[in-house]
Amino acid sequence: MEPTAPEPYDFRLVNYPNKEPVTKDEIHEAIIICNGNIAAVCRLLERNRESIMSRINADVTLRMVLSDIRDAVMDHAENNIFSLVYQGDFNASKFVLQTLGKDRGYITRVENTGKDGKNIHEGMTTELAKLLDGIAARIDAPGPSPEVSDGVGGRGLLPS
């Protein structure tokens, strides 16, 4: 008999033995202990994700606690990035400029022009320019996505 790979395990289907119902206070405390990580909350309380999430979604206080904890984690992550920026870390500085410095022009953009702002088709043969225009038109055309060529004469993006 050939060995086979184990079936992928779906953690959403974990069924813990019947236990007493978990209380709102226990869920509240677990959310805090686990920093809003629902998978960790479920493991700590030995409950499946569906039951914990249904309890959280049904209770405004638990939803607020989860939101507040996740906001605190985000604040901490931001503080870590800012600390790295103040230490002179290039990658952290680049990240902050790309995400928060957009109003100062620090953005990543795609050039849609050729060299020195000239027409992108300048210097191309007429046939190549027409081919690229045809591909762009098919990509931008409304309707279903264009087919991909099979490389053996099948219809694709290239004009027929």
25-78 pLDDT tens trace: 999 999 999 999 999 999 999 999 999 999 999 999 999 999 999 999 999 999
Helices (H), the chain: 24-33, 38-45, 49-58, 60-86, 90-100, 126-140
Distant-in-sequence, close-in-space partners of 50: CB < 8 Å, separation ≥ 6: 12
Q: What average pLDDT does the structure give for the chain? A: 79
| For residue 148, pLDDT beyond 80 | no
pLDDT > 90? residue 90: yes
Question: What value does the mean pLDDT take over residues 10-26?
Answer: 71
Closest CA to 49 of 37, 38, 35, 62: 38
At residue 147 the predicted structure's pLDDT band, cuts being 50, 70 and 90, is low
The pTM score is: 0.53
Query: Is the pLDDT at 24 greater than 50, yes or no?
Result: yes
pLDDT, tens digit, 9 for 90 and up, residues 124-146: 777 787 888 888 777 766 655 54
